Amino acid sequence: MSLTVVGSVAFDALETPFGKREKILGGAATHFGLSASFFTQVNAVGVVGDDFGDEEWDVFRRHHINTNDIEVVPDGKTFFWRGRYDYDMNTAHTLDTQLNVFETFQPKLSENSKDARLLFLANILPTLQKQVREQMPDAEFVAMDTMNFWISSMKDAVIETIKVCDCIIINDAEARQLTEEPSIYKAARAIMDLGLKAVVIKRGEYGATLFTRDGYFAAPAYPLESVFDPTGAGDTFAGGFMGYLAAHTEINDETLRRAMIYGSVMASFNVEKFGTERVDGLDYPEINERFRTFKQMTHFDDIPFERATAA
């Protein structure tokens, strides 16, 4: 049932219309791991500097995330990102990026991490993603993320990595950029044709859509009146999605659909507070209550229209 994630562990400095934080826990593997930890046992693979303190490690410990494969570089500094969001919370403005120890990150997977049934390759160099995937030939379901920077600078490597995965979880702009196809539906099918079983397109405030070989599922976004801090929402979605799948023996259309909703549920919580604050403090009743709300938001009775029923 376990799940391994490889990706960044970082410090973020954030500024939104609602406030700011100077140095808080962030990173793709962090947001993914926290979210997934509500559903399954998570192994996190990453690298930090020795400026990574007890307060940060405690967040992982609280959620029983295995951090044995998070390498600590002596005298190294942890990946740092400073970003700002204006009222259009859909776009992050990067003010500063210090890769630090992440610049030379070489993922080292212990046997325990390699034994996981599921693997998530968070957004890192596509060639590194591929190397990690090849260290886990028996993984049952492997999903990946990527970003516009890699698509524009090394698209071939991104495609080679996609070819060894089962699922990709990206946003609509990345799907269009990768395929040069304006229609998100054609784009998703084109990516699927690289050999994937599932393509998940994240559409921000419009929700997320799942494409499988012969299926399509539309998950709405939770109607949040205000997004407090969108940082990590995509990784939190992926964590709920993969975590839910890891908790089930069957990965089929039904579990994939519910995984889409649990991913949406977790992402909707993530944006309610800064960084990891909201997800860190979540409990199961809250999670399932919001899951039920998603059901209510989309449910309608399957009653075909008959002219005769006309009143």
> How far, in Å, CA of 250 to CA of 266, rounded?
21
191 CA to centre of own chain: 18
What would the two tokens of residue 141 be? 């379901």
Strand ranges across the sheet with 10-16: 19-26, 10-16, 79-85, 92-98
Examine residue 226 and tell whether it contacts its own copies (CB under 8 A).
yes
> What CA–CA distance (Å, rounded) separates 171 from 234?
8
For residue 74, state whether it binds its own copies (rule: CB under 8 A). Answer: no
Interaction pattern, residues 182-221, with its own copies; x per rule: CB under 8 A: xxxxx--x-------------x-xxx-x-----xxxx-xx
- 64 is a site residue for its own copies (CB under 8 A): no
Only segment of 58-66, 147-155, 270-278, 289-297 that touches its own copies (CB under 8 A):
289-297
CA-angle at 265, arms to 41 and 1, nearest 5°: 20
Q: Are 129 and 144 in contact (CB under 8 A)?
A: yes
Interacting residue with its own copies among 257, 272, 273, 280 (CB under 8 A): 257
Q: Is 311 in the site for its own copies (CB under 8 A)?
A: yes
Q: What is the end-to-end Cα distance of the chain in Å, rounded?
A: 53
Per CB under 8 A, does 85 bind its own copies? Answer: no
Q: Does 249 help bind its own copies (rule: CB under 8 A)?
A: yes
When the beta carbons of 132 and 260 are compared against its own copies, the nearer one is: 260
Distance CA 84, CA 95 (A): 7
Q: Cβ distance 64 to 34 under 8 Å?
A: no
Report the residue from 39, 120, 228, 241 that binds its own copies according to the rule CB under 8 A: 39
Which residues here bind its own copies, judged by CB under 8 A? 1, 38-40, 87-88, 182-186, 189, 203, 205-207, 209, 215-218, 220-221, 223-226, 244, 246-249, 254, 257-258, 260-262, 284, 287-288, 291-292, 295-307, 309-311
